[in-house]
Every structure is written in structure tokens, then in C-alpha cells.
Amino acid sequence: MDNNKLLAQEIAKIAEVASYLWQRGWAEYNGGNISVNVTESLSEEERKVEAIGDKVTLPTILEELKGSIFYVTGTGKRMRYVAQSPWENGALIRISECGDYFEVIYKNCIKPTSELPSHLSMHNYLKSIGRDCKVVLHTHPTDLVALTHSKQWLDSEAITNMLWSMIPECRIITPRGVGIVPYQIPGTMALANATIEQLAKHDVVFWEKHGILATGRDVVDCFDVIDTLSKSAQIYINAKMAGFEPEGMCKKDLDDLVPAFGLEKYYNEN
């Protein structure tokens, strides 16, 4: 595993994104967590290495993730240190062949994020509906969390349309819009289940008064999605601070992006 270049590339991208989360001010204290399915980066042999940690029972059987391997950030670890030393602040875990427990297999026996059961249930769900998802990224962007403190924006359609209408890129990068989950205690399966409900229709979910969760194929892409949503929120908030209501792109300008950028496929699902 020490000489696996594909794995090293994945881990380098995770470290890169962890540094962005810290630099952006989205990762105070131990805020945020990352899980990435790296199974395809490992050889058959590497997938079978002996565990270095105990078996930890999962709350539900993960049918879709049997034998899968994830890099996960560690519980209580700081993103700024994940950026510097991903193997001191995260580990590879393997889901058992029956999908009923996980165990740490590499490189240090780091205890995974408190959100691990919820991340895994999201990976499991997205795989079950055929969505090409390898990454769950959770972070605390100040501007986006600020919006979730207003009842006005705790509405998926309202906040999606507002954020989309600030810059064209926003709709292009989040064609399924954003889902909203009312406040729940962090790390609970209640929060995970409410998030999964929203992931059926969206790739990005806002957790009221807490943070954002993005899912996708690539950890850098997930960062870009949150970064673009944050840019829209900053434009909105800046206009409000300057004392005017931002006009926003009109519906026609937003709708014209659909054929121009081939977004129809996202609206013809189900």
C-alpha cells in the first residue's frame, strides 16, 4: 500500500481539499469530515490486508458496500492537520464481506469521524440508486450556514433559486439544486436519514445552523460545488450589506443555461 500511486493521488487530493477548507475558514476546531471510497485504487491483495483495528458493528447492514474501502478523517481531528498529515488524521477502513461491521486496515489505528455511520449510509444509498458517488464532504462555510439561520432560506426551492440567480456557474455546477435538512443533533442517524431523503433529489444538502454536505465522484469537485455556492451567498450578502436587494438572474436566463450546458439529463431522471 505504501507504494500505491493511485491511492497516493487520492490522498493528495483529500489533503489539498482539507487545506482549502481550513484556509476558507470553514473548518474551525474539528469541524467537518471527509470520506472517500478508494476501493478501485487498491489491488485485490491490498483489499485483503490484515486489519489493524477492532471490528466495529454498524447500525445497519450496508448491502452495497460489502468489502469496500474508504479513507475517512478521524474523530476530533483538525482539517488543518489532515492537510499536513492525512495518515495521522485519518485512516483506511474496510466494510466487512457481510456489510455488518468495519475495521481500520491502514495506516494508523485512527478512530474514524463521529459522522462515519451517517457517511457510510449515504454512500450505501447513493450506490443503491446508481449515482456515481465516491465522496461525502461535510464542512461549515460561514456564509452558507448564516443563510440557514433565516426561515426564508430553509426552503429548498427558495434558497436554490436565490443562489442559482447570483451567477450562471451556480446552476451549472449544482443542477439538482440544494436540499434542506432541519436542525438535528450532529452525528446521529436521524440526521443521516433526513440527509439521505434529500440526496434522492440533490447532490448538496444544507444542515440548518450547522453546515453543508456535498456528494460526488471527486473530492475536488465536491469542494468546487460548495465553493461556488459560497460565492453566490457572498454576492447576495454583500449586496444586502451595501444596502440594496440584488436583482438576480431572471428565470429565462437561468432556464437558457439548461440546453446551453446540457443540463437536461438532471431533469429527466426518474
Identity at 99, one-letter amino acid code: G
Among 4, 16, 19, 30, binds ligand 2HA (CB under 6 A): 30
The number of residues making up the chain comes to 270
* 31: contact with ligand 2HA by CB under 6 A: yes
* 246: contact with ligand 2HA by CB under 6 A: no
CA–CA dist 152, 225 (Å, integer): 22
How many CA within 13 A on the CB side of residue 132?
Answer: 4
State the Rg of the chain over Cα. Answer: 19
Q: How far is the CB of 184 from ligand 2HA (least distance, A)?
A: 10
* 141: contact with Zn ion by CB under 5 A: no
The DSSP letter of residue 132 is -
Which of 33/215 has CB closer to ligand 2HA? Answer: 33
CA–CA dist 47, 210 (Å, integer): 35
Helix (H) or strand (E) holding 6: helix 5-23
Pick out residues in 35-94 that bind ligand 2HA (CB under 6 A).
none
Which of 211/216 has CB closer to Zn ion? Answer: 211
Q: Specify the 3-state DSSP secondary structure of 173.
A: helix
**Binding residues for ligand 2HA, total number by CB under 6 A:** 10
* 33: contact with ligand 2HA by CB under 6 A: yes
CA–CA dist 199, 213 (Å, integer): 10
Which of 99/112 has CB closer to ligand 2HA? Answer: 112
Interface mask toward Zn ion for 197-216; x: CB under 5 A: --------------x-----
CA–CA dist 78, 36 (Å, integer): 17
* 177: contact with Zn ion by CB under 5 A: no
Which of 30/193 has CB closer to ligand 2HA? Answer: 30
Binding residues for ligand 2HA, rule: CB under 6 A, are 30-33, 113-115, 138, 186-187
